[in-house]
Amino acid sequence: MKLNMRMLALVLVLGIGLLLTACGGGGGGAQTGGGQTGGATGAPEPVTIQIGSDGENLAFDKKELTVKTGQQVTLEFKNNSVAQQHNWVLVKGGESAATQIANDGLVAGLEKDYLPEDQSNIIAHTGVVEPQASASITFTAPAAGTYLYICTVPGHYPLMQGTLIVQ
Ligand SMILES: [Cu+2]
């Protein structure tokens, strides 16, 4: 009898818990709906993107990424190679800007993560990522357009590159 009362109490507690969860969920759902309706004017939801190097090739495993203007982007870069160092550098400007960054990065050397002193044409970058290691960076997606991302480890650009499309 004592056990049954305990079980009854447990059922009641669980029942109230479910009720509260249901109410909370409903409220959250309504808020989310409102946010989506105002999506045209509000900032887009943050996004996490995973990209890696393509095994032992001097290439990224994704040649194209797409994000939205003003979106907070968390980029997780995994170096899948067992031998090569790599980095991920997002370039403002086209091929000539990318070539300049790669050349200046080569001169700057490993201690500067193969990045130039003048970073005015770099939107975001990781440091040099060792074989089998990972790096995570967060940046705000720039104005709509097409951007190159490259690896500036010597000899990897122009082979190692991809395109970020900002919508
Ligand atoms: Cu590389």
pLDDT value at position 43? 80
Q: Ligand 1 centroid vs 90 CA: distance in angstroms?
A: 13
Is residue 30 domain-shared with residue 110, that is, in the same domain?
A: no
- Residues 116, 76 share a domain: yes
**Is the distance from CB of 144 to CB of 166 less than 8 angstroms?**
yes
- Report the domain count for the chain: 2
**Beta partners for 161?**
150
Do 26 and 11 sit in the same domain of this protein? yes
pTM of the model: 0.76
Residue 10 clears pLDDT 90, i.e. is over it: no
Mean pLDDT value across residues 3-11: 45
Report the CATH number that the domain containing residue 137 is assigned in CATH. Answer: 2.60.40.420
pLDDT above 80: residue 132: yes
| pLDDT bracket for residue 99 (50, 70, 90) | very high
Same domain, 85 and 131: yes
Same domain, 74 and 155: yes
Q: Report the side by side order of strands in the sheet with 47-52.
A: 47-52, 72-78, 134-140
Q: Are both 7 and 52 inside the same structural domain?
A: no
User: Cβ–Cβ contacts within 10 Å for residue 160, how many?
Assistant: 23
For 144-159, how does the pLDDT look when each residue is reduced to its tens digit (9 = 90+)? 999 999 999 999 999 9
Which residues have a beta carbon within 5 Å of ligand 1, which is an ion?
86, 151, 153, 156, 160
Sign of the dihedral through C-alpha 8, 10, 14, 16: positive
State whether 99 and 121 are in the same domain: yes
Residues 79 and 153 in one domain: yes
Which structural domain, as residue segments, surrounds residue 16? 2-40
Q: Are 28 and 106 found together in one domain?
A: no
> How many angstroms separate the alpha carbon of residue 96 from the centre of ligand 1?
18
122 contacts: CB under 8 Å, gap ≥ 6: 89, 90, 91, 92, 101, 115, 116
Of 127, 132, 121, the C-alpha closest to 153 is: 127
* Same-domain status, 52 and 106: yes
What's the confidence (pLDDT) of residue 42?
76
Gap from CA of 144 to ligand 1 centroid (Å): 26
Whole-number Å distance, alpha carbon 33 to ligand 1 midpoint, is 42
Question: Ligand 1 centre and the CA of 136: distance in Å?
Answer: 16
Model pLDDT for residues 26-83, shown as the tens digit of each residue: 333 333 333 344 445 678 999 999 999 999 999 999 999 999 999 999 999 999 999 9
* 161 Cα–ligand 1 center, Å: 9
CA of 100 to the centre of ligand 1 (A): 16
